[in-house]
Amino acid sequence: MALPAGSLIQLTPQGLYCPAAGAWIDPWRPVAKALITHAHADHARSGCGSYWAVGSGEAVLRQRLGAGITLTNVDYGAELRIGEAVVSFHSAGHVLGSAQVRITVGGETWLISGDYKRDADPSCAPFEPVSADVFITEATFGLPIYRWRPGREVAADILSWWKGAPERPSLLFAYAFGKAQRLLAELAALGVDEEVLLHGAVQTLMPAYRQQGITMVPTRPVSELPRSESLAGKLVIAPPSAHRSVWMKRFKDPQTAFVSGWMAVRGARRRRGFERGFTLSDHADWDGLLNTVKKTGARQVYVTHGNSDGLARYLRDVESINAAPLGRAFEGERSDDAEIGSP
């Protein structure tokens, strides 16, 4: 469905648009002004005239969009006036520098969530509950079957899997931005100080996290190791796109695993060809989605991505909250480095 005519936020061919600010939120195509929730490729696209985003995510944004982009760094919670709108960014707990965007015009407030999670994560700022009159929420994992265990517990399982095969390389596939760094931080929190090897796509993003003072285990690119060095007993983190690629030929008889919220679904690991699956997501689970919607106090909720129809129907029928899906408008707006679809 489309947003009502005259709404503070409009749905346009370029994405969500605030006429009062003259700016788009996570536009799908190049626009003059872009308010960016985070640096995943389905939310931050190149070619825009000016960008606004949280400062802790600057290094990743410039790396992905170009060092010369016109970028205004914003602190969490700081209010700024853009056109006739008052705009603030609030932590989404998704990845480094991720934010919810809050926009107020004429006494009415809308909140656009971007991607978010409610679980503790040592690699990024925790989620901040924010009130609003109207809330636009994602629903990537908007089904009751998705309920997450604490990241620390999943990291402990990964550590046992790794150490349980000292004679084999352990290849752990995880999204290069956000998930990989969370795993490295979770392992550090468990007291691990052994070096972990990284695929180049993961290594490229490590300086941005180190510069922000995120505590992670020691790491080194796989490319720096001599070809003659044995990789038995080593943990290697790589993006899903490296699975079954030429890059993997370097590893003799590796054990493989994939880390994703999709691993909660029976058969998902087998379909993707991994020996093991670990369920860990950088998106809110079912309970996190419901809790967040309620905490906003919004009189109207719009739902994007994932099970948008189902979550909107549940909010209406069970929670008595006015809710409607925007899912169809957002179909195809994900990319492989977001936690959805097959890599």
Sign of the dihedral through C-alpha 96, 129, 45, 309: positive
Provide the 10 A C-beta neighbour count for residue 193: 8
Domains of the chain: 10-145+282-330 (3.60.15.10), 151-278 (3.40.50)
- Tens digit of each residue's pLDDT (9 = 90 or more) over 142-197: 999 999 999 999 999 999 999 999 999 999 999 999 999 999 999 999 999 999 99
82: left (phi over 0), alpha (psi -120 to 50) or beta: beta
Residues 292-317: pLDDT tens digits?
999 999 999 999 999 999 999 999 99
More confident residue, 266 or 277: 277
Residue type, 15: G
pLDDT band at residue 227 using 50, 70 and 90 as cut-offs: confident
Q: What pLDDT, on a 0 to 100 scale, did the predictor assign at position 110?
A: 98
Instruction: Give the pLDDT band (50/70/90) at residue 104.
Output: very high
Q: Is 264 left (phi over 0), alpha (psi -120 to 50) or beta?
A: alpha
Comparing C-alpha atoms, which of 279, 281, 265, 259 is closest to residue 118? 281
| Cα–Cα nearest to 114, from 58, 34, 181, 223 | 34
Helix (H, G, I), strand (E, B) or coil at 331: coil
Q: Per-residue pLDDT for 272 more than 90?
A: no
